[in-house]
Amino acid sequence: MFVDIRGYTALVEQMAPSEVVVRLNRFYDIATKAIFRHDGTLDKLVGDEVMAFFGAPLHWRDHPKRAVAAALEILQEVASLPENNRLKIGIGISTGAAFVGNVGGKEVADYTVLGDTVNIAARLQSAAAPGEILIAQDTYSPIAKAFPNARRRDLDLKGKSALVTAWEIAG
């Protein structure tokens, strides 16, 4: 799962650095608490983006459901902020096989996930409109009954040789 603030560069341009830190920390707090409540693993905080994964190191059979529940919670929490502090975010989620483990060198290693499904999640997040969650077909299939009104979108994602089927869930 990737969660990103929309319009962050323009927002930062208009604010004092101390106010940027306050808003960013509030966003990080909302996102990490939701991820942890649904047994996700926080991978990293990068600029205005949060990366997390579900199903490792402990494998939950319902990890797609947990990821989507965390994403919905993040959207709801951000939307409940006072209007003058509200942020616009987009979320992408993909489910599938991935490398899970440490990467890096002898001095610095990072516990992370790598693979096509991770790339798809990142690209879906880039394609998501503010307030939107885009989930890949493998994420949608096990939870489809809970979201019968999700809208199917076939997307031409950067770096992918074929269209990727995604499902739009509005927050």
- Cα separation, 64 vs 54, whole angstroms: 7
Q: What's 51's domain CATH number?
A: 3.30.70.1230
Task: Tell me how far apart the alpha carbons of residues 105 and 147 are, in angstroms, rounded to a whole number.
Answer: 43
Q: Answer whether residue 171 shows pLDDT above 80.
A: no
CA dihedral 19, 28, 84, 125 (to 10 degrees): 120
Q: What is the pTM of this model?
A: 0.94
User: Which residue segment(s) compose the domain that 138 sits in?
Assistant: 2-170
pLDDT tens-place string over residues 20-52: 899 999 999 999 999 999 999 999 999 899 999
CA dihedral 159, 141, 58, 2 (to 10 degrees): 40
Total structural domains within the chain: 1
Decide if 139 contacts 67 (C-beta within 8 A). yes
Residue 111 near residue 56, CB atoms below 8 Å: no
